[in-house]
Structure 1
């Protein structure tokens, strides 16, 4: 009826022009919607799935140059996966929803070329959101950081004491120079725009130490403080390479250390209950490790059965992972903005 009204009141040529324009515009919108839905549909966000390996701790090697008495991942194997296989496994993890990769050990910097390849591949090819490395600090060199800083978001250094003699008792080298190296590495991180993180294991040799002044001077963006942990099959008795039972602290000693340092803004404590089953650990064969209850167990390799099937074979509590603060400001967009643009807001992480 509306069209007939137009025909009786508007010249025919103008009426036809209006109708043609309406048909063309309707067709364009329909095609555009179809194209967006059928062709340009955004890829599915795998990280939101319940079993997605959001944050993975990968141990490419067990080899280490230190002999920390409480170590739960000792160098019982010298195996290192061929680089092509390692890359294949990392791609499988990314496709399954991995957003953050943490490379630990062993001591990762015993293999600096391998680290370079892994970092470059994960950032340039896989576009992994965040990559971090945990090191004892003994083998880190400034030229490596200078050449690889564009791919590294976080560098964490393990420091259990600011007393050289205490570090020797723990097994962190025998030269007494750990603290000097630590401050030097922190400065390099600031220089090259890498987030500096500190890890400390509270044990029988350091639970009564006051670290406040040194932590405030180092100013890490995050200080993870762990309660010394026994892992069955790794460090639980004298038949293992490490016997951590003599390094354990009581709950009262743990709380004493925590109460002394809890006012520091970067302080993030994790007791044994918080750690149990909240970490996704991947060994040198790319098998997931389960160090929750009883003997440590492992899955089949993700290279053989895939990520989802391997994850079914171990226990990973995603709820505990989130509750212990497993997701945090783990990229360095704020540092890059500060260095390149003179400041800016932090990028907000979305779960």
Structure 2
């Protein structure tokens, strides 16, 4: 394994209101870093040191939110700065804001693009909060965007992310997976950090996995323990953070203030769990 993956949650803002979303951070009095190009450069200079510090060859910067395409100009700046530092790029989106211009941007700059899909049912998506004020997630439009992106870049890796929760735990997503044919399908048990109302049992999570066993070759599933401390994450304000489940979040000091080395030591992160996850699922 030569590549280390860093997840930067560039914004808390989102046009969906998913009940289980953990993208809520304490520091609302500050502007998110993505809006200040000078701070973006400083942050990327610091995190560019991670491969050397952790004994990897390259860095993959995974851009997540919130919804990253709410701020396309700021996102493009991050993309350009990351590529100037020879970082590989991936991202996660709910696809609701995509158009032909953004599809071209994704196809041009990203090696992997992930789509959040919890249900194919309008009522379920509405209950979860996977909707805008006007409508729930549009599955047909998402499929069209995926096809468009692949037309411009046939080599791009398409990933589907699914959070199994109280509302969708009994559903079957196999028809969608069969149509889209992603290279990876990450299935998470809902992590009850800020809201426990949609939490499910281990048995319900396993039942969902069993129902989709035909896709086992592309599935990477993670229960709450496997998710904890196995990701290295940066919040919108430039701090490393980790979830402590019942304790909420652990934060480092701002990376551009104290440097990446000191900030990394201030949060719990298991390189062993990170490596085990990537070795087991070949980078999924």
Category of TM-score, reference length = shorter chain: 0.7 to 0.9
Q: Residues 166-217 of structure 1: CA distance to partner in whole angstroms, max 9, x if unpaired?
A: 1000001151342122211211221122321111000011111011121111
Q: 2:206 aligns with which of 255, 266, 270?
A: 255
Q: 1:66 aligns with which of 5, 16, 22?
A: 16
Q: TM-score, normalised by structure 2?
A: 0.88
Correspondence 1:205 to 2:164: no
Q: Distance in 2 between matches of 1:96 and 1:252?
A: 37
- 1:63 touches 1:106 (CA, 8 Å); kept in 2? yes
Q: Distance in 1 between matches of 2:283 and 2:248?
A: 33
| Number of residue-to-residue matches in the alignment | 267
- 2:7 touches 2:232 (CA, 8 Å); kept in 1? yes
Q: 1:165 aligns with which of 123, 143, 147?
A: 123
Q: Distance in 2 between matches of 1:222 and 1:252?
A: 23
| Structure 2 match to 1:56 | 6
Q: Distance in 1 between matches of 2:266 and 2:73?
A: 32
Q: Distance in 2 between matches of 1:184 and 1:75?
A: 33
- 1:221 touches 1:266 (CA, 8 Å); kept in 2? yes
- 1:164 touches 1:179 (CA, 8 Å); kept in 2? no
| Structure 1 match to 2:72 | 112
Q: Spell out the pairing of 1:176-215 with structure 2 (5 A cutoff).
A: 176-193=136-153, 194-215=156-177
Structure 1 residues 141 and 289: CA distance shift in structure 2, 3 A: same
Structure 1 residues 310 and 277: CA distance shift in structure 2, 3 A: same
SS of 1:246's equivalent in the other structure is coil
Q: Distance in 2 between matches of 1:126 and 1:61?
A: 21
Correspondence 1:320 to 2:273: yes
Q: 1:296 aligns with which of 249, 253, 276?
A: 249
Q: Distance in 2 between matches of 1:329 and 1:253?
A: 26
Structure 1 residues 177 and 67: CA distance shift in structure 2, 3 A: closer
- 1:116 touches 1:148 (CA, 8 Å); kept in 2? no
Once the 2 structures are TM-superposed, how far is the Cα of residue 106 of structure 1 from its aligned partner? 0.9
Q: Distance in 2 between matches of 1:311 and 1:228?
A: 26
Once the 2 structures are TM-superposed, how far is the Cα of residue 329 of structure 1 from its aligned partner? 5.5
SS of 1:139's equivalent in the other structure is coil
Q: 2:232 aligns with which of 267, 280, 293?
A: 280
- Taking CA–CA contacts closer than 8 Å with sequence separation of 6 or more, which of the two structures ends up with the larger relative contact order? 2
Once the 2 structures are TM-superposed, how far is the Cα of residue 145 of structure 1 from its aligned partner? 2.5
Once the 2 structures are TM-superposed, how far is the Cα of residue 89 of structure 1 from its aligned partner? 0.8
SS of 2:162's equivalent in the other structure is strand
- 1:189 touches 1:196 (CA, 8 Å); kept in 2? no
Runs ≥4 in structure 1, deviation > 4 angstroms? none
Q: Distance in 2 between matches of 1:295 and 1:112?
A: 30
Q: Residues 123-175 of structure 1: CA distance to partner in whole angstroms, max 9, x if unpaired?
A: 1x1111x2111111111222122145322111111010011111000001151
SS of 1:322's equivalent in the other structure is helix
Once the 2 structures are TM-superposed, how far is the Cα of residue 111 of structure 1 from its aligned partner? 0.5
| Structure 2 match to 1:269 | 221
SS of 1:324's equivalent in the other structure is helix
Q: Distance in 2 between matches of 1:91 and 1:245?
A: 37
Q: Distance in 2 between matches of 1:152 and 1:57?
A: 14
In structure 1, stretches of 5+ residues that fail to align are: 1-46, 236-243, 331-351
- 1:189 touches 1:195 (CA, 8 Å); kept in 2? no
The structure that has the greater radius of gyration is 1
Q: Distance in 1 between matches of 2:150 and 2:224?
A: 32
